[in-house]
């Protein structure tokens, strides 16, 4: 994949992650600290998390097409890196109560769910794009027969 397209995909990923992280923060925050009031600065936290989570996805970049095994290994590494980054942030944060195992498990579970949903959304986008390209190719072939 050319690097420019790779970067465009990362930008799309950033916006998908921003949305999913905002939902996850809202749900988990309501569950564990429903009475908390947030200021405008806190609205940027999910965006910062999304930006940070995009960085480990660069382990999937390759000039050549990756084999399914190579891609799976890189995706697993990416998940470990994202989990590590987010849990690292959680454990160093004075706001997140990581002394409660439930909080840590919910954060780790949220990262996994967001990881799976993000890959599902990106696959659906890529699948729709592939379908469109195939239809265009079919039309082109019919015109040039």
Task: Label each residue of 42-106 as H, E or C.
Answer: HHHHHHHHHHHHHHHHHHHCCCCCCCHHHHHHHHHHHHHHHHHHHHHHHHHCCCCCCCCHHHHHH
Looking at the chain, the whole-number percentage of residues with pLDDT higher than 70 is 99
Dihedral (Cα; 134, 54, 110, 24), 10-degree rounding = -90
Domain extent for 127? 3-143
pLDDT tens, 66-107?
999 999 999 999 999 999 999 999 999 988 889 999 999 999
Question: Mean pLDDT over residues 50-71, rounded?
Answer: 92
Band of pLDDT at residue 13, cut at 50, 70 and 90: very high
What is the rounded distance in angstroms from the CA atom of residue 69 to the CA atom of residue 85?
A: 24
How many domains is the chain built from? 1
Residue 132 has pLDDT above 70, yes or no: yes
The number of residues making up the chain comes to 145
Dihedral (Cα; 71, 56, 105, 26), 10-degree rounding = -120
Cα distances from 14 to residues 1, 4, 20, 22, 133, in angstroms, run 19, 15, 10, 12, 24
Please state which of the ranges 1-5, 117-121, 124-128 shows the lowest mean pLDDT: 1-5
Band of pLDDT at residue 1, cut at 50, 70 and 90: low
Higher pLDDT, 135 or 37: 135
The answer for 97, left when phi > 0, alpha when psi is -120 to 50, beta otherwise, is beta
Whether 34 and 99 have beta carbons less than 8 Å apart is answered as no
């Amino acid at each position: 994949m050319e690097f420019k397209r790779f970067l465009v995909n990362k930008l799309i990923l950033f916006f998908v992650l921003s949305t999913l992280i905002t939902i996850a923060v809202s749900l988990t925050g309501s569950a564990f600290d429903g009475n908390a009031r947030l200021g405008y600065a806190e609205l940027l936290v999910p965006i910062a998390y999304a930006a940070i989570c995009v960085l480990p996805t660069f382990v999937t970049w390759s000039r050549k097409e990756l084999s399914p095994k190579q891609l799976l290994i890189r995706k697993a590494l990416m998940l470990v890196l994202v989990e590590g980054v987010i849990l690292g942030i959680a454990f160093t944060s004075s706001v997140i109560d990581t002394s409660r195992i439930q909080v840590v498990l919910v954060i780790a579970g949220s990262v996994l769910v967001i990881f799976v949903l993000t890959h599902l959304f990106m696959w659906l986008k890529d699948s729709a794009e592939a379908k469109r390209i195939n239809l265009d190719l079919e039309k082109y072939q019919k015109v040039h027969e």
